[in-house]
A and B are shown apart, each in its own frame.
Chain A
Amino acid sequence: NAGVTQTPKFQVLKTGQSMTLQCAQDMNHEYMSWYRQDPGMGLRLIHYSVGAGITDQGEVPNGYNVSRSTTEDFPLRLLSAAPSQTSVYFCASSQLSGSGETQYFGPGTRLLVL
């Protein structure tokens, strides 16, 4: 299993450009989430999904869109990039097992918005 994969690893954008951060998991997990991590702050939840076709907002959803057309993929779209969106973005997936919820994170995408 590859686990949770994210592409690209690093991206530079100009203010106003749009892009999609890709996330895929091969563990058949129902739950998938996107977080951003900024210095001095904890990871903050952007959007999440509890299954294909179902998404909801997290703590900091403004400026981002998501969709979940398949169990495996959960892309994050930046509609019009702003310097405040410079961050490291992590995708995660979760399963509910007999021993409790286990959450797996991808390696992250480092985004710089100029």
Chain B
Amino acid sequence: EDQVTQSPEALRLQEGESSSLNCSYTVSGLRGLFWYRQDPGKGPEFLFTLYSAGEEKEKERLKATLTKKESFLHITAPKPEDSATYLCAVHATSSGTYKYIFGTGTRLKVLA
């Protein structure tokens, strides 16, 4: 069964305390893995797309990496404004069917 699992569910960090969020997946026909940021009451905001194992992408304090079974979102020296829920999703196709499967997210709180 296609599945996306994110851990931890919630994470509290002090400002400047680096950490990583995990997204593990089992899916056939993977076309891409996506990271989004979601603030309360808003729609998800696109961060990264990763397509193949070994790929890495960076944006400000965020860096996303991908292996064959999981992806990590590394947050370096986070600031309070990085507080949000981070969502992982996989895009897959199978027999012409379009699948887009989201994890339940990691709620990140960065304390000043």
Contact = CB atoms under 8 A, between A and B. Distances in A.
Contact of B34 (A33, A45, A90, A103): A103
Nearest to B49: A100
Instruction: Report the contact-size class of chain A (Cβ under 8 Å from the partner).
Output: 20 to 34
Interface stretch (A12-20, A70-78, A105-113): A105-113
Contacts of B51: 100
Given A42-B4, A48-B98, A108 B42 contact: yes
A107 to B, nearest CB: 5
Interface string B83-101: 0000101010000011111
A109 B46 CA distance: 19
Given A104-B46, A105-B43, A43 B102 contact: yes
A50 interface: yes
A56 interface: yes
Contacts of A56: 97-98
B43 A107 contact: yes
A interface: dominant SS: strand
Contact of A42 (B31, B34, B46, B103): B103
Nearest to A110: B41
A2 interface: no
Interface in A20-34: 33
Interface in A56-114: 56, 58-59, 90, 92, 99-108
B98 A44 contact: no
Nearest to B88: A42
A53 interface: no
A41 B104 contact: yes
Contact of A58 (B41, B100, B103): B100
21 contacts: A4-B43, A40-B104, A42-B87, A42-B89, A42-B103, A43-B44, A43-B89, A44-B102, A45-B99, A56-B98, A58-B99, A100-B32, A100-B49, A100-B51, A101-B32, A101-B34, A102-B46, A105-B44, A105-B45, A105-B46, A108-B42
The 9 A-B pairs with the shortest beta carbon distances in the complex, nearest first, are: A42-B102, A105-B43, A100-B49, A43-B102, A105-B44, A42-B104, A45-B100, A90-B43, A107-B43
